[in-house]
Amino acid sequence: MPMLEEQLQGLKTTFDKYAGKDGDKGSLNKAELADLLREEFPGMAGDKKQLDTFFASLDGDKDGTVSFPEFVQFAATLLLIVFSI
C-alpha cells in the first residue's frame, strides 16, 4: 500500500479502535477520547479541565460526541501545527 494511503488508513483504524469501545462505532465520547489521547499522544494528555476544553473544541456540531469528520479536522489541525513550527 502506498505510504500516504497507509497513513490515512491508520487514522481511520485509530478512530475505529477507540470509537467502538462503547458499542457506537461512529463517534468518540469523552471517555474514548481520553483513552485515545492517553495511549496515542502521551505528551498531550492533560487534566480533566483540559480534556473538557479539548473535547468541546473537537465537537464542532456540539452533539456531545466526536465524529470521524470532526476527528479528521483535528488531525489536519495537528499536522498544520506540527509543520508550521
Interface residues toward Ca ion, by CB under 5 A: 59, 61, 63
Give me the least distance between CB of 67 and Ca ion, in Å please.
5
The contacts of residue 24 (CB under 8 Å, 6+ apart) are 65
Give the type of residue at 52. D
Strands (DSSP E) contained in the chain are 27-28, 66-67
* Minimum CB distance to Ca ion smaller for 56 or for 78: 56
Q: How near is the Cβ of 19 to Ca ion at its closest, in Å?
A: 12
In the complex with Ca ion, the residue whose CB is nearer, 17 or 30, is 30
**Choice between 10 and 69, CB closer to Ca ion:** 69
Q: Are the C-beta atoms of residues 67 and 26 closer than 8 Å to each other?
A: yes
3-state secondary structure (DSSP) of residue 18: helix
Q: How far is the CB of 32 from Ca ion (least distance, A)?
A: 13
